[in-house]
Structure 1
């Protein structure tokens, strides 16, 4: 093909062909400068017919310029279109008016591009053609439409024309009255932005436009819309796109009908089909849909969920003794209580009789599910007045997990129903999981919870102290750590019982116990001749949110007779995030007392340098996960060096915790850590062993 084309051009004077084409086109080919007058460098012969000026008169503005013959009202529009092209693709297309030499006004269409000339300067090259006939035809069409305005105005159906970008161009009286306006003019002025001002559902106008782009029309487009007084109605729209002769969309036009009554009737029928008439809860029909939604969400997030079957105990007794009316009141109240126990994303449905089903999405682990189940049991078993009598009922629950125990409603219900009947056999008012391993885990957790409560009440907890030393093993102070030796479970790791204390609300009592013990011990050190030793106590996140935390700490210090400078409070960096102003206020109060503030486990959270600079912090503790890798080189060393460097840049003292080897100590000492803590120096020890340790501190390794 290439050779054939070359051979065809070989016998043709291409320059002559191009010149003939350029000078015989019905329109004007041009090149012009990008300046105030659009100074013409070249104009084709078509300028005579288009403008009344020959090329010699237009080139280099000898008689007039393109800017001058452009209609004054359209000059800014033309320049704006070209400016946009210069900033973007370089191509532009603009329709505007020019004034012919004879004084008549013509409509022209200019198409061009920003290019570089032979000297590398940006110029415009393009083509301008006369489109007056097309524009006049469009206007004649508009005039013809005006002749039918009476039909438009007098129709009993709402009718409209709107621009593509969402403004009313025309509306009839029926539409104005439908939307609550006095007349069409008031409607057009009041609804300046249809997308925001008319449709209740955000994005509904975009859906309308999408259908128009894809199909050119909408049919039975049903939406909820606002009336002028703020009330809403439901409408059905039938509309289509009106195109120009060139196929460009000009505007939308169509009709509007009020379908509020029909919509509400359909909604009522749908609600009756999917909700229990007594309690208003979703029924079996809707339960399937709700479960599918939660299953899809769990699949996307790679999470789990649970389905609980709830059966009221002794409901038949209430029905038989107090009557069906009392039984219905009980079911309504139980439904209300169940809803109050769940999150908005969860579902409670009435399955039938005295049976309910709970769908708990975004399963956060066994502890979250147990918390909700306990809340449900407590809520249901609370007394209720029926027919003048105080009545109490319990419930039995069976729980299945998805996707572990099934991924469809029938299977999950069958499994949770089996678990519920097992719970009834064990004794009413209980819950059981379908999976026995979870039952064992749940029972163990409940037993541990009870044991921890007894431990707090019966003083089973005690405090041990781990030294914080310099590189030579000389102690600066001690960190107070809580321990638990249970009569039932033996020695329980803090990793196991501290999170449990956070969940069940015991952490406050545990923390104050440790704080009091530690402050009295530090006061004893001072009395024994060690006035500079500090004791460090961890403050839990829940306690940190207490508004009177500083006052409570001061009361413990006064009770022990310990100066504030001998106390160090350790917080995690996650506690600094969230409500920054609240955290700053609490720390300022504590700092004003004179206590030291340390950030524990630094590097494992999400705090930034900008936040750390705002808080009155004295000490940064490098987390042991970084310390144990600091002597391995590469990434471990780089992270530790960065943390220490950050602390020094903020004038903070650096403590490395979890030091177990001499090589780690050497690296951390070289990086500039001032204090060290770990098994290399000493394990946590009871208060009774502290006197001997202080008399002869040594490095264990």
Structure 2
């Protein structure tokens, strides 16, 4: 005892160096400990119901029943809680342990108060209680989560076992210096030997002769020295015939009683198919399956590499968004198989237009994305883009059709226009729409002002949907006259005067309707309105004239087209021969059997069919004889420049001549001057349409125009003071 200890007063019997110890209620401590266990402590009788004499508070958390409900089987007995499928097994295991005088452990299911089933583990043994009865004392805990985990693991193993159950597994023993001590026949066959003996005799230097890359054997030996085992060790090896395969090794070091290394032993699995499958998955995850180009996922990686290079070496990186201008018409007209072959052709042309450091990826549909790295100034990119435009625009011959495909390109520069793929794509997309608006087959660089145009387009799309729902779309009518200037029919045209945005020109909202699918309800609205108004004019005593409606390609492909037209005619009472459906030339290219069947069904209704915008497509003229057409409309691009001696005038005359020879009614649209009218009149054109005769008119205004031109009074009587032909001054 040191001096400091000697100075301390002696401790009393119930004191510690930290002060007087409180009195401990051992029974209370034990009760608290038992009740707080994560499970149920119990004592029960060895009877048919396992009558409970004591259960801890943990039974409430485990079963949902209070202790007093289980004790004495006051509410429910434990046998009833035990799943019927498990009762006999559990009782047998417990009774066997009692007979042997040993502890028991059994796992089974119980049904809880809330109706749920839980897995429990019961551990216990038989004891003699205070009254000399043999009872069971033990502990029951919830192991549902562990059982479910094991079940899920078993299910997962079962799901994937089928992928590998045909795998070839070999077993081996080798010395540390690379000689086989033993091998099974599976390993021998895997390596191309007829027997294990021949494998052992021939392969005396594993490191030099077996591994394609000898460094893999050295790595195998290093891991074995450091860890004593290898797991999932993959290598490419030579077979006896010189071919190769991929193997996966799991092996361990075997030591003797004295700790000396005896040999390596393990298993070998042929994972060649798995390796190829993994490579295919990796390829599919990063490439477009149709064109073989990188997809959006790989595009992001390529963009980051190009940006890193530009930051390191200088230069600029551009993301170009490429959209084919008239692909939708070709795909819809010639079919998806032809459309797919066209996409493959365009993909090859884009690849050929770029250098090895650049990337071309398929973004989706008819859209491609290019990552262009250029070591020089931005202006040098113009030449690359012009080369791409020219290469894509080369004619393509597929299925007997010579197709002319152009593209529009939007370009965003990194990092000025964005530092990530999404931002650059968004800005390049806005620039691409600017290129399309500029006339297509062009490229445009992104500017901040283009974002507002993209937002405007989204607003316009939403407004168009609301306009169709509210009935804001009006139908106007532009007259067509014959060679003597007499009105013969009208063309129904959609007009939109938005309450929010004012008058929206068709050139602005029709492309949006085409892109979004709104063209279908829009076309049906125009069809029904046109039929109703045309029937109404005749009912009001005006001369019966025909009405032409532009038929969207989407409606033309629809299975219910004939039924829709028949319904519109029936609802309006308009005779079928006074309805003319105009179909663009591009929509008729490569008309399939189903479309031809629909056209014939329309003809059977009595409807007239017209080919619109003739001369702008790229298809064979053979369809003019093959299809049941009545009318050929010369595109206004030929009419606008039709002055004597011009190329347009020559082409217009040729088109009119073709139409007349085929017995078709030829209509010139876009006639704006007397000179154009005279030239087309002399060429033999049958009918004319354009501002020279009238702008598009509302239904009411057209009725007035028709009365004036035909001399028909309000009562339906023809006036003798009005001329029914064009004035001589025209």
- Superposition TM-score, scaled by structure 1 size: 0.45
**Which has the higher Rg, Structure 1 or Structure 2?**
2
**Higher RCO (CA 8 Å, separation ≥ 6 residues):** 2
- Superposition TM-score, scaled by structure 2 size: 0.43
